[in-house]
Structure 1
């Protein structure tokens, strides 16, 4: 154990318990440290950006806030992956969660097993949204201008013999989707794979959950996505956290 690190952490804990900051003497007392030791560590923590001195009191600095933010992100991701694992086991297929954020498709989490592996990302999911169920489901939740912006940056093209490689045909397909209707695709992104995605309301962003199956299990696809859709409501409070990750 490194004593100086322990003492510094106790000081950080003491500072974090005071939203308006606290003076050195009070922090030393709360951390159980001699005042000279506390002064030395407070100066070091301030120099490194973990603390900031303001009108004679110490408050958390930007570095400490970034550290706390990383921990919160990790906790949120863990919650999401735990939830996805539950649904993976319920439907017996790999489960994906993705959002459309800042003009790009982002797969936030994937849960699979060795017996039921996820689809290999052989072509960048972000750039080929027109070819897979995840992307088509997200694009279907956008307005026409937002979709045009996506197509301008990622032109529609066939990446397998089954891909809808024409933007007008793709727009007709997306336009025919009913609200909350699952989106399915057959070998449009990856040969030998079928996928389905359902739209999700999570925060104010377009989001989706999806599953994939090997082609020879295609007869299970609709059952699996129906099962996912019937249970997904219980997961929404957890998934909405991911929008801020």
Structure 2
């Protein structure tokens, strides 16, 4: 009985976005191989995915424009997949798709949202969506030198191996930015090593007084990235729910990056 309870609890735990993306790619591959369309039952048979999981994936793929449903109910390739899969204009299509996704996520979560990548050994914010009701964090210290203090930086460093983390910290001094900033390399490395992949990384006024943040990994292949959000301190009570929403919304972003 105890074993079943543990198994049920495990089934309810959030899955890393890359797992959902792997399944989504399996569905897209099956759809692409059937130019005239493929039905839901056929997709279940070809992909081997449980019906409830497949239903959720198809809902997401339709919403994001990767597949569409023909008049007879069969699934065919959608406009988004055609754009991102084209060699001509792929970069512009990807940027536009990610920006639309970020804008929608900003509005649904009620916070500024960011995509960050670890490029050539540095933390870079590549795209973001903010607004009057969802102000962006004030970058009062360059994000490239404050990875130890920000949710974005800690999420990216957490996806590197130990040597990669130590190399980064050897190039960027762990300065105290607020009274909550971790400045001990040993403590930070220990926290990064024990951070569960399915749990958002949090920054509770470690980078800036008056701001709280959360970040989740969106690693595509060898490229390390994360999806993050920030909230003013007076909305800190919303951070847990917002971070949970962010985690659930990471798969569409990662799927765009993977395609």
Query: What are the ranges of 5 or more consecutive residues in structure 1 without an aligned counterpart?
Result: 1-68
Corresponding residue of 1:198: 216
- Post-superposition offset of 1:157: 1.8
Bigger-Rg structure (1/2): 1
Any idea what the Cα deviations from partners look like across 1:111-170, whole Å, max 9, x if unmatched?
Answer: 011121110111110111111000001100100111111011112121112111111111
Is residue 127 from structure 1 mapped to residue 145 from structure 2 by the alignment?
yes
Corresponding residue of 2:97: 79
Corresponding residue of 1:102: 120
With the length of structure 1 as denominator, give the TM-score of the two structures. 0.66
Corresponding residue of 1:161: 179
Corresponding residue of 1:145: 163
Runs of 4+ in 1 over 3 A off after TM superposition: 69-75
- Write the distance in 2 (CA, Å) between the matches of 1:223 and 1:158: 28
* Match for residue 230 of structure 1 among 248, 254, 258: 248
- Write the distance in 2 (CA, Å) between the matches of 1:114 and 1:239: 28
With the length of structure 2 as denominator, give the TM-score of the two structures. 0.63
Task: Compare relative contact order (CA 8 Å, sep 6+) and give the higher one, 1 or 2.
Answer: 2
- Give the secondary structure class of the aligned counterpart of 2:176: coil
Any idea what the Cα deviations from partners look like across 1:45-104, whole Å, max 9, x if unmatched?
Answer: xxxxxxxxxxxxxxxxxxxxxxxx996544432222111111111111111111112111
Confirm or deny: 8 A CA contact 2:151 2:201 kept in the other structure. yes
| Number of residue pairs aligned between Structure 1 and Structure 2 | 173
* Match for residue 179 of structure 1 among 192, 197, 201: 197
Is residue 189 from structure 1 mapped to residue 207 from structure 2 by the alignment?
yes
Considering only aligned residues, what root-mean-square deviation do their CA atoms show, in Å? 1.8
